[in-house]
């Protein structure tokens, strides 16, 4: 983070590699549009790079990047809303903005998935994020169906351990 703070381009790339996927998950959950979410990711890291000199390198960058991403997502949402209102489209569905806690959980889940071993992460991304069946994932990944199922099982057990700190809410 000290290198990032000094504007080292390689450190910016490393930060992007570590956090672009959780930022994308937050943006996608906020906006519901992959193209807009990708725009939020790019703008988040541009804004972070511009503000790098003000960042304390002893702190965890995740909450800082999350805050930047949230502000960028709000700006993109407002821009898109103004654009839609200019066209006078009507909708009969109300969309509530996502809660801070919900977005933070998305960040935590994405970071946990990124922390999985590569073979387990690939199965989770295929079956959960791309919504492939186990058979489709096996064909795409070039592995047996049983391997997909066992990796999926191990990955979900590992994720449960990673995300245990989120707890469960009781009504």
Query: pLDDT tens across 22-52, in order?
Result: 999 888 888 888 999 999 999 999 888 888 8
Q: Output the CA torsion 33→111→158→138 (10° steps).
A: 40
pLDDT (average), residues 146-159: 92
Last residue of a domain, one of 32, 64, 96: 96
Which pLDDT band, with edges at 50, 70 and 90, does 168 fall under? Answer: low
User: What DSSP letter does each residue of 129-165 carry, written as one string?
Assistant: IS---HHHHHHHHTS-HHHHHHHHHHHHHHHHHHTGG
pLDDT of 170 strictly over 60 = no
- Looking at the structure, do residues 14 and 81 belong to the same domain, yes or no? yes
- pLDDT exceeds cutoff 90 at 141: yes
Range of the domain at 135: 115-171
Question: What pLDDT digit, counting tens, does each position of 63-96 carry?
Answer: 889 889 988 988 888 888 877 766 555 554 445 5
CATH number at residue 43: 1.10.1740.10
Domain annotation covers residue 102: no
Q: Are residues 65 and 19 in the same domain?
A: yes
User: Do the domain assignments include residue 20?
Assistant: yes
One domain, residues 71 and 29? yes
* Same-domain check for residues 24 and 68: yes
């Amino acid at each position: 983070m000290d290198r990032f703070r000094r504007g080292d381009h390689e450190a910016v790339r490393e930060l992007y590699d570590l956090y672009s996927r959780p930022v994308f998950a937050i943006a996608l959950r906020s906006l519901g549009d992959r193209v807009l979410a990708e725009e939020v990711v790019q703008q988040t890291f541009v804004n972070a790079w511009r503000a790098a000199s003000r960042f304390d390198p002893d702190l965890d960058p995740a909450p800082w990047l999350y805050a930047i991403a949230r502000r960028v997502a709000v700006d993109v949402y407002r821009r898109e809303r103004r654009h839609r209102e200019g066209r006078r489209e009507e909708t009969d569905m109300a969309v509530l903005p996502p809660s801070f806690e919900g977005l933070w959980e998305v960040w935590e889940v994405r970071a946990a998935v990124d922390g999985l071993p590569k073979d387990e992460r690939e199965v989770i991304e295929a079956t959960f994020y791309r919504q492939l069946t186990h058979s489709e994932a096996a064909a795409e990944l070039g592995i047996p169906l049983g391997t997909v199922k066992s990796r999926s099982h191990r990955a979900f057990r590992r994720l449960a351990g990673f995300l245990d700190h989120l707890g469960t809410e009781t009504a």
